[in-house]
A and B are shown apart, each in its own frame.
Chain A
Amino acid sequence: MNKYKKITLDGLIYQNPTFMLVLGTCPTLGLISSAFSSLGMGLTVLVILTLSNILISLLRKIIPNEVRIPCYIVIIATLVTFARMFLEKFVPDLYESLGGFLALIVVNCIILGRAEAFANKHTVLESTVDGLANGLGFTAAITVMGIICEFFGNGSLFGFKIMEFKMSMLATPAGAFLVYGICIAVFVYIIDAIERAKRVKVNKLSRENLLKEAA
């Protein structure tokens, strides 16, 4: 398999940071009561993750191993501070809705995790693809959950009223836990089913090849 395709699929599906690795749980649980906030947080993380992967990959041969973590933290914190300034200036509504969770991106495990596990060992291009894939994986996961929570918890979607019926509990962090758990279960079940189907197919092919060779 093409390595870029593998990196992309890993970030999006097989090692999805939210559903498979359960990283970045704090903003996930805090923000999924609103689809708009979820999407905004996802896109912000996507940009910061991609930029931090690029910078860390660029500097991976310069930064000594002993101080790599402090350097990563400084780079990520700088990007997050810049993102805060940018959003406050140009997208104030999103800045308001993200609140304190925006600053907390500094300690988001996905970003530091990808820096440590991937970007400091791979080329700039590979790290960029990894950042984009993981960012998209996180954005997709958090947005889907945001849509579910907002739809059932508030009867609206991206702030637009859809229906009067609502289960308010789903718009709270406690409801977010419930939705998060169900989404993980469904996601893992689907991935598992696909993997099983793939294995069955491979086994069947192997068996047929063996039979052909035996014949």
Chain B
Amino acid sequence: MREPLLELRGLSTHYESARGTRVTRAVDDVSLSLERGKTLGIVGESGSGKSTLALSIMRLLPTAARIVGGQIRFEGEDLLAKSPREMREIRGKRIAMILQDPMASLNPLFTVGDQVSESLRVHEGASRKTAWTRARGLLEAVRISAPAARMTEFPHQMSGGMRQRIVGAIAVACEPRLLIADEPTTSLDLTIQAQYLSLLRELQREHDLAMIFITHNLGIVAKMCDAVAVMYAGRVVEAGPIRQIFNKPAHPYTRALLDSVPRLTDDSHARLPAIDGQPPDPSAPPAGCAFHPRCPQALERCREQAPPSLTVAVAQTARCWLHVP
């Protein structure tokens, strides 16, 4: 069997307070894998650790955070063993990232052409002229009209949708193998979101790109992903192929989350099956299974012991005591 493109084994990332007295287990014993050209969705609510997980893979964590255990293997290499300099060469070239706010990801003082050609010059040593020509081709590929004219314009002269497409062009400039998108469409309007998602899909097909979508939106997962990992309080509570997860969720949290979203095709104006309570404070999660205070099926055991990751179906795992015979 071929090795997956990206594999996380027991990854844990903790935040420590200045005096080291308080530790937040933002990412706790996470194991995941992603094949070439496939799309993985990581869903979770605020504080579930999904963004910290993405930053851990990129090794772009803030200083208070530290990877305390586990492995990140990318194309057969151990990313945690890389020097900062080696990581710089991987970032942008082999792993690219798209952030939520397209305005904040572009520098207002440089032209679009400068910004798109920058990574080509840095990572591939392309000359100013070649980089410029290739950058123009990239703008065309992300369907920016009149790309030659747009190259000399500044980000503020463009609409939000166009800026997001430019961010997409920068991300794929060096033909990365993996693209991590953190809430890439949250600030976009519906029709622009649809256009952007189909553009990402197209880029993925053309470049055989693997993608990780970090999102709180189950609709994005349903539309874009092959597999999904559901995070709660720093742990992956359930993971598997999307159809299996949407049809037969094994973890009560996943099931409750899917049920609580109103559907367009749903006529009934009945009450939504809501999840009681609040998501836990990541710095003080409940003992045992972190979901137990909100779980309608909680057992005595759930209060004391954190459930291990169990295989519940082909390629589907869940951390839930209900699945222990």
Q: Do A and B come from one complex?
A: no
Chain A positions within 8 Å of B, measured between CB atoms, are none
